[in-house]
Amino acid sequence: MTTASMTATVAESAAASLPLHNVFVYGSLLADEVVNALLKRMPPCSPAILNGYHRYGIKGRVYPAILPVESKKVIGRVIKGVTDAELHVLDAFEDEEYKRSTVEVFLNDDSGELFVETYVWANKDDPKLYGEWDFEEWKELHLKDFLSMTEGFVKELEQLELKTRVATYEAYYKKL
């Protein structure tokens, strides 16, 4: 066994023993391109339903918010096997507008229910929330620009520029 392959095996073993997270996503992170830009890989995903929540549009934003609403449900997916470092990237991306919470989702692949992390809108009384957010419409109208903004956010994060995702978002969309 070569030194390089031994190092790779040790690294893989260490990574396998790290705690991994499952994250329910319901907005821009439904797009593989956005997840890949943020995490530099595309982890396995499963379609899922979050009962007791509603996905809203937000005036002045192209991404959605969720809040608890009885008798509603949000269709999304669970990103599986997220590392601690990747979860920190997602936390930075979701910024102070969202609060990471543990929720229970139903997996559509018949593997039952699962407790996962998700990002819930922090201001439950926000007057900017309205109606229902539509992923297919977002993909058609906003994916290209949002992906470009996300790539800029990642570059700033990698350069340790302490600009929030909201600041990056606002600066990017002011240029358009």
Active-site residue numbers? 94
CA distances from 140 to 28, 62, 113, 146 (A): 12, 12, 31, 11
Q: Three-state DSSP class for 137?
A: helix
- Residues pairing with 105 in the sheet: 114
Quickly tell me which residue has 């095996």 as its tokens: 9
> What end-to-end distance do the CA atoms of the chain give, in Å?
54
- Residues pairing with 77 in the sheet: 25, 47
CA–centroid distance for 158 within its chain: 18
Number of C-beta neighbours around residue 76 at 10 A:
25
